[in-house]
């Protein structure tokens, strides 16, 4: 790879103009882009949230929200940010076993959140709110579904990291890889705070 990566890492210099590695700037740039993706999806939902069309076309998502249930799964997801921080700290201190534990915990908490979302979608569907039922349902499933896909990809990354750390292929010298995945994970959590507040809590 171009200079600044392999050559300079040997000397433990920060090689770049910004002082951040290319990988980290990449993640920040990507997250900036992703902000607009969710911005557009949230705006779409806000525009369409109450539109059900003719009277026969079923409930809106807001009619079916189970706020206590979603609050619990939101809390689980937010706690996963804490364990993510612990994982990053652990690998920076070269405590590989601790790091593995927190990586797996983070992935597990994320998986619980996804399971909650699957349960929520299923129960909504049973209550008559399909993806094609009305405009508001299309908007709801698209927005929360995109977030769910983001969390799922994060889980895949975390599990991959766990495999690499366990196999000894990823040591403390590459702690930044986990830090960058942490950036992504925190971003996905922050997006959920916005979605939970705007979609679920604001009437």
Partner 1 sequence: MAITEERPEILELESGDTSPSTGAFARPTNASGWRAWVFTVDHKKIGIMYGAVAMFWFLWGGVEALLIRAQLFTPDGTVLTAEQYNQIFTMHGTTMVFLVIMPLAAAFANYIVPLQIGARDVAFPRMNALGLWIFVFAGIFLNLSWFLGGGPDGGWFAYAPNTGVTYSPGAGMDFYALGLQIAGIASLVGAINLIVTVLNMRAPGMTLLRMPVFTWMIFVVQLLLLFALPVITVALILLSFDRTFDANFFNVAMGADPLLWQHLFWIFGHPEVYILILPSFGIVSETLPVFSRKPLFGYSVIVISGAAIGFMGWGVWAHHMFVSGLGPVGVAAFSATTMFIAVPTGVKILNWIATMWGGNLKFTVPMMFSISLVSMFTIGGLSGVMHSVAPADTQQTDTYFIVAHFHYVLFGGALMGLFAGMYYWWPKAFGYKLNESLGKWHFWILLVGFNMTFGPMHIVGLQGMARRHSRYGPEDGFDFWNAVVTIGAFVILIGMIVFAVNIVRTWLGYKAGTVPQEPADPWDGRTIEWAIPCPTPEHNFDYVPVITDVDDFWHKKYQPDENGKLRKVADGNEIAQKGDQNPHLPSPSYWPIVLASALPLIALGLIYNLWISGIGLLLLLGAMFGWSLEPATDPDAGHGDHEEHGPDDVDPPGDEGSELAEEAPVV
- Binding positions for partner 1, rule: CB under 8 A: 1-9, 11, 13-18, 20-23, 25-27, 29-30, 32-34, 36-37, 39-41, 44, 47-48, 51-54, 57, 131-132, 134-135, 137-139, 142, 150, 153, 156-157, 160, 164, 169, 174, 177, 180-181, 184
Alpha-carbon torsion (126, 128, 132, 135), positive or negative? negative
Find the shortest distance in angstroms from Cβ 38 to partner 1.
Answer: 8
Find the shortest distance in angstroms from Cβ 1 to partner 1.
Answer: 4
Q: Which lies closer to partner 1 via its Cβ, residue 54 or residue 68? A: 54
Rounded Cα distance, 68 and 91, in Å: 35
Rounded Cα distance, 38 and 144, in Å: 10
Q: Which lies closer to partner 1 via its Cβ, residue 23 or residue 97? A: 23
Q: Which lies closer to partner 1 via its Cβ, residue 16 or residue 89? A: 16
Q: Which residues of 170-196 are buried (b: 16+ CB within 10 A; e: fewer)?
A: beeeebbbbbbbbbbbbbbbebbeebb
């Amino acid at each position: 790879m171009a200079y600044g990566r392999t050559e300079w890492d040997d000397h433990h210099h920060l090689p770049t103009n910004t002082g951040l590695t290319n990988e980290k700037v990449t993640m920040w740039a990507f997250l900036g882009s992703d902000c607009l993706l969710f911005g557009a999806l949230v705006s779409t939902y806000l525009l369409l949230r109450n539109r059900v069309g003719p009277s026969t076309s079923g409930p809106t998502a807001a009619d079916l929200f189970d706020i206590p249930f979603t609050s619990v799964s939101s809390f689980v997801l937010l706690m996963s940010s804490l364990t993510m921080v612990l994982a990053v700290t652990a690998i920076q201190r070269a405590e590989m076993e601790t790091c593995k534990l927190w990586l797996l915990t983070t992935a597990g908490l994320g998986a619980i959140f996804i399971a909650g979302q699957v349960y929520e979608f299923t129960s909504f569907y049973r209550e008559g709110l399909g993806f094609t039922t009305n405009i508001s349902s299309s908007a709801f499933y698209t927005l929360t579904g995109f977030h769910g896909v983001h969390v799922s990809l994060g889980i895949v990354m975390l599990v991959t990291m766990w495999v690499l750390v366990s196999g000894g292929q990823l040591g403390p010298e590459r702690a930044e890889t986990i830090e960058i995945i942490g950036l992504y994970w925190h971003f996905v959590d922050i997006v959920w705070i916005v979605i939970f507040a705007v979609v679920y809590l604001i009437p």
